[in-house]
Structure formats: structure tokens, C-alpha cells
Chain A
């Protein structure tokens, strides 16, 4: 049997909605399992990419230093890197904080918000540092393909992966292209 295609996935500054939508391929996941295996992914709980991953699916944009680190690891390990969903492509909802200074965001969330008890801005050394602005992933690494949508539908994942698996140049027809 030929080696299976290795697929890694991650959610950076995302909501896991893209992962949920991916799982909406339902029983088609059995066909996928015939030809592909999951590497690093919240689905396998593997924490590091192997050296040679074929396809890396990245959900979410970059809001902190750990996101940047993970993204770089994906780019290094994955032959094909895919920006999945609105947040990976344009920052998405998290990027709506971009016109508010970071300090004000933190004050509003942790000091001034209604119902906050023991107000303090978290600053444990274990916590990744927040970036001043949220960025889409193509501003930091080269991205090979983009799957727009919030989230992209299961059919988008399916069309993309089956195109790749059968050696076709992936393409999305009109009905599958949505920015929302």
C-alpha cells in the first residue's frame, strides 16, 4: 500500500468552527481515512508536526507569539500550507480589535468590564504575549492555498482534499466560495 497522505491541522486565533465544519464531511471521513492520516492536530492530540507532513490546514489568524511559533512550525513541516477560513485569511472577528489599542482591550476585559471580580490583567510568564494587532497568516509565511468561509463548508474541505489527492489543481466553483 502506498503511504498515506499526512494531514496536520491547528487552530490559532480561531474558534474551532472550521474544524467542526471539516468534521461535517460526516461519513466521508471513512473514505478520507483510506488515503490520509492525521498528524499533529487537535483531533489526534499530537503536539508536534512530524518532519514531513503533506498538507497543513491552519485555522485562525495570529493574535499572540505562540500562534506565530506554531505557524512557523507548520510552514517548516508541511509541503502544502492552507489558510482555512476567514480568520486565517483576513484576521476575522479577532481582528476587529485592531483599531482599539491593546492596552484598552485588556483594561476593558479584565479591569473595567461588568461583573469582573478581583480585577487584574493576567501576566503569568507562561502566557504567550499578545501581538499589538491580529494578523492573517499570509503576512508571516507563504501560504499555498486559501479556503474562504466562516467557516468554509464541509464540501469546500472535501472538494479541496479530493482535488489534491487525485492530483488535480484544487479549485472552488462559485457555489463554494463564500466570505461568510
Chain B
């Protein structure tokens, strides 16, 4: 068997044919910031947080296949600046009031902000009006915090087989819809054990009556940054390839 390798920031990283750059990186213990990527699902490539330089060009590490000899830059000041700006845009585009959010401390968007030492949102805030769907007895959908990563869409379609969610509209009008005649969660087959309910990286899909159960100080990102948490959780899954 021929060994395939790429380099990431000068470090040799082996990969298996068919793996994406982020899959190879994760398997080798190299963290590339990401939000819409989750190793259990086919890539979506929408948030662009995983932007790396491949042989001098910006590419999404979650969709770009690893190819022998690639020189990848990841942890550079320039790329982290870009990622910080992307994260700031995600914050101003929605309504993220962390102090009143049940997901705070366990939220990947917030954790990426912390990881990148993002101290402000830089851009003017949009303060959009978005619909909250509290119709379901157990599951809550707060679109104010949705970052349109489509993980719930993928999970509901590919794992739960229910197709509860979809994205609709284009550009700045893109929004998350619920596939029922009323457009409400209560009129879907969704149940609290569904993968789709637990895959949301932010506080947009929540299980009711579980908020603030974990006290401050014991939440996921209170003492560990997202690079450590993410590698610990994803390294084992990264072996199987969803790339391509």
C-alpha cells in the first residue's frame, strides 16, 4: 500500500484515498475550525470557517479532497483573521444574546468565537425578525440563533428518515423551514430522541425543560477550548470517509 501524505503547516499528515482535508487533519489530531462540518454527515460546505490555503488557494477543508503532496496552511494569522470575520458575520446576521441562551457554554459558535479570541462583532448588527416555533411539546426551534448549517436537515433526512427540516430562500433571505402543512414542528413526526434534535451546533434546536441544567463551570467549553473538545469527540469518527 502506498502511503499518501499532505502537509498541514509543515507537518506530515497521512490520508486515505477519498478523505477530505479536514478528515485527514482530524484523524491526525490537527484541529481545523469548523461549524457546518460534522464527521458523521456528508459535507455541506456553507459556513467557510474551515477555510485553509491549499497550494496557495483558499479552499473549504471540509469539502476539498486530500491529494498527495498538497501543502495546506491552517493555523496562520491571516486565516484566523478571516475566520474571525466570518464568525463575526454569523453573530451579526442572527440574534445571539448569549447571556439569555440555554446553549451558552455548550455552543460551538460561541466556542469558536472564544477560540479565535473574538471580542466584538465588528460589523453593524442586523437584528432580524425571525420566527420562534414553540408549538411542539418537547422540542423548541428558535430561529434567531440558526446559522443555516443544515445539520438538522441532513440528520432528519439521512438518519431519522423524517425530512422535518429544509432551507428555503436564497442569499440573505435563506431561512430554516419545517416540512409540515402548518409549517410548525408540532405537526411533524419529530421526536425528542431524533438525531436532528441533538445535532444543532448552536441554541436553535433545544429540548424543552432541560435548559441551564448544567451549571456554569461544568459546561463543555468552560475549561477546554473547542479544538480540544472537537478532536476528542471527532477523531474516532474521522476514520470513515464521507468526502467527495
- Residues in chain A within 8 A of chain B (CB atoms): 83, 86, 89-93, 95-96, 98-99, 133, 135-136, 138-139, 143, 145-148, 150, 171-172, 174-175, 177-180
Contacts and interface: CB of A to CB of B under 8 A. Distances in A.
Nearest to B127: A98
Interface in B198-244: 216, 223, 225
Contacts of A139: 124-125
A148 B113 CA distance: 11
B125 A177 contact: no
A96 B117 contact: no
| Size bracket, chain B contacts | 20 to 34
Contacts of A138: 120, 122
B122 A93 contact: no
A136 B125 contact: yes
Contacts of A98: 95, 127
B120 A143 contact: yes
13 contacts: A83-B120, A86-B97, A89-B119, A93-B97, A93-B99, A93-B100, A99-B95, A99-B128, A99-B129, A136-B121, A150-B99, A172-B119, A177-B113
A83 B225 CA distance: 25
The 8 closest A-B pairs by CB, nearest first: A179-B98, A150-B99, A146-B120, A98-B127, A99-B129, A146-B119, A180-B98, A180-B104
A29 to B, nearest CB: 24
Contact of A180 (B99, B115, B122, B125): B99
A86 to B, nearest CB: 6
Contacts of A135: 125
B80 interface: no
Contact of A150 (B95, B98, B120, B225): B98
B96 interface: yes
B121 A90 contact: yes
Interface in B103-144: 104-105, 110, 113-115, 117, 119-122, 124-125, 127-130
Contacts of B105: 180
B98 to A, nearest CB: 4
A90 B104 contact: no
B33 to A, nearest CB: 14
B31 interface: no
B119 A86 contact: no
A155 B17 CA distance: 49
Nearest to A135: B125
Contacts of A99: 95, 127-130
A17 to B, nearest CB: 10
Contacts of B115: 174
Contact of B125 (A90, A150, A179): A90
Contacts of B96: 90, 179
Contacts of A179: 96, 98-99, 104, 110, 113
Contact of A148 (B101, B119, B125, B130): B119
Contacts of B119: 89, 145-148, 172, 177
Interface in B16-69: none
